[in-house]
Amino acid sequence: MSTPEKIKILYVDDEMNNLVGFNASFRIDYNLFIATNTTEALEHLKKHADIRIIFCDQRMPDKTGVQFFEEIRSEYPLPIRMLLTGYADIDSVIDSINRGNIFKYIKKPWTDADIITSINEANKFYLVSSMLALKNQELEKAYEELDKFSYSVTHDMRGPLLSILGAVAVTQQIDDVVEIKEMLNLMATSVKKLDDFIQAIHDYYSLKRGALQIVEVDFNDLVKEMEDIYKITSTINGVRFKTKVVQHEVFRCDEMSLKVIFNNLLSNAFKYQRKENDDKWIEMDIEIVKGMATIKVTDNGIGIPQNFIGEIFNMFFRATSQDVGSGFGLYNVKDALAKINGEITLNSEIGKGTSFLVTIPNK
C-alpha cells in the first residue's frame, strides 16, 4: 500500500511565537502552510485548493478569526475551519459556531494532543463531506444520463416491437405462403434490431459499472475471435476482412473493454459499406510497440460527413440511415477507451471510406 499524502493544513496567526511552535510540533506529520495575516492566508488558499484544515487565531490586528472564516466560507467551502481562542472571546465564537462558520474551537494555550485530536476529527469530517459532494456530482450526472436514456430507450425498444406488431397485422391478411415467409424474414430483422440494442445496453452497463479485469492479452487470439464472429457477415456481404497482428511483447489490459472496442468498430465497418462497390474490404492492423498498442481499423465504405465527425461519439447519435444501428456503438467505444486510458482518432472521406486509429497503453 502506498503511503497516503500528508494532510495539508493552513495555520494563521499574527504571533510569530505561536507559528514557530506550531511548525515545530507538526511539520513532520502534516504538510503545513503558515500565514501571519489573512492576506497571506488567502494566497495559500488560492494556490492550494486541497488544503483540508485551517487553524486561525481569533485575535489578529487586521480582522478576527471569526470574520476571516465568515469571509472565506463561500469561496472556499471545503477546508474545515477551526478557531484558536482564549475564553474572553467566547460569545462571538459560540455565535459563529452556531451559524456554521466554524467546525470547532480550540482553547488557548493549546496542547499538541488537542491539535492532533482536532485534526483527526476534522479530517474525517472533510473526507465524508467531500466524498458526499463527489457522490452528489456523480449522481446528478447519472440522473441526467438516465433521463436521456429512458427517453431514447422507449423509442428504440418500442420501434422494433411496433414494427413486428404491424407486420403481424399485415401478414394476417396474406394467404400466399411465399409472401408470408417474406414478412417473417422482415420480422426477424426487427427482432435482431431489438436484440442488438439490448446487447448494446448490456455493454453500456458492463462498462459503466464493471471493474477492470486486467489480464495478459494475446491479440492474435482476440483477432481470431473477431474473424470467427464476422466470418458469415463477411461471406454474405462480399467484404474481404484482412487482419495483421504484430505482437512480440506482453500486453496487459481489460479484455472486455478491448472486445467492445473491436466489435463496435468492426460491426460499423461491415455495416456501412457501399453496396455498389465491387471490392469491399476492411483492414484491421494491430501493432504493439514499447507498451503501446496501436489498432487501426480501415474500410472503403460510405465514409462519414465532415460535419458529423464531432458528434459520432455522442450517445444515440446516428450519421446515416443506412442499416440498423442503435447510436450506441461508438459511445460505448469511447467509454471503454476512457476506462483503459486509450485514445481514438479518425479520418474519413465520403464515398472513399473511414479509418479509425486507436492507441491503448499497457496496464
Partner 1 sequence: MDPALHFILIDDSKLDCLITEKIIQNIGICASVKSFLEAAAALEYIKNNPASADGAKIILMLDIYMPLMNGFEFIEEFEKLSPEIRNLYSIFILSSSINENDQNRVANYKTVKHFLNKPLNGDFLISLLT
Instruction: Tell the smallest beta-carbon distance from residue 179 to partner 1 (Å).
Output: 10
Q: Does 321 bind partner 1 (CB under 8 A)?
A: yes
Cis geometry, peptide bond prior to residue 109 (ω within 30 degrees of 0) = yes
β-sheet bridge partners, residue 76: none
Instruction: Tell the smallest beta-carbon distance from residue 333 to partner 1 (Å).
Output: 18
Q: Does 237 bind partner 1 (CB under 8 A)?
A: no
Alpha-carbon separation of residue 122 from 7, 26, 134 (angstroms): 11, 15, 18
> Which helix (H) or strand (E) element contains residue 112?
helix 112-171
Cβ distance to partner 1 smaller for residue 117 or 154? 154
Residues contacting residue 169 through CB under 8 Å, at least 6 positions apart = none
Please identify which residue in 165, 184, 214, 246 interacts with partner 1, judged by CB under 8 A: 165
β-sheet bridge partners, residue 293: 288, 360
Cβ distance to partner 1 smaller for residue 189 or 247? 189
Here's the x/- map for partner 1, 260-299, by CB under 8 A: it reads as: ----------------------------------------
Task: Spell out where 66-210 has E strands.
Answer: 80-85, 104-107
Q: Which residues from 45-104 bind partner 1, rule CB under 8 A?
A: none
Instruction: Tell the smallest beta-carbon distance from residue 182 to partner 1 (Å).
Output: 9
Cβ distance to partner 1 smaller for residue 89 or 156? 156
Determine how many CB atoms are found less than 10 A away from the CB of residue 283.
17
β-sheet bridge partners, residue 289: 292
Interacting span for partner 1 (CB under 8 A) from 169-177, 199-207, 254-262, 338-346 = 169-177
Q: Does 149 bind partner 1 (CB under 8 A)?
A: no
| 70 in Cβ contact with 101 (< 8 Å) | yes
Cβ distance to partner 1 smaller for residue 155 or 242? 155
Instruction: Tell the smallest beta-carbon distance from residue 319 to partner 1 (Å).
Output: 7
Q: C-alpha grid cell for residue 244?
A: 495483421
Q: Does 224 bind partner 1 (CB under 8 A)?
A: no
| 322 in Cβ contact with 272 (< 8 Å) | yes
Please identify which residue in 23, 131, 148, 151 interacts with partner 1, judged by CB under 8 A: 151
The C-alpha angle 31, 36, 37, rounded to 5 degrees, equals 115
Residues in binding contact with partner 1, number by CB under 8 A: 21
Q: Which residues from 185-204 bind partner 1, rule CB under 8 A?
A: 186, 189-190
Pairing mode of beta strands 104-107, 239-247: unpaired
> Which helix (H) or strand (E) element contains residue 329?
helix 329-339
Interacting residues toward partner 1 by CB under 8 A = 151, 154-155, 158-159, 162-163, 165-167, 169-170, 173, 186, 189-190, 318-321, 327
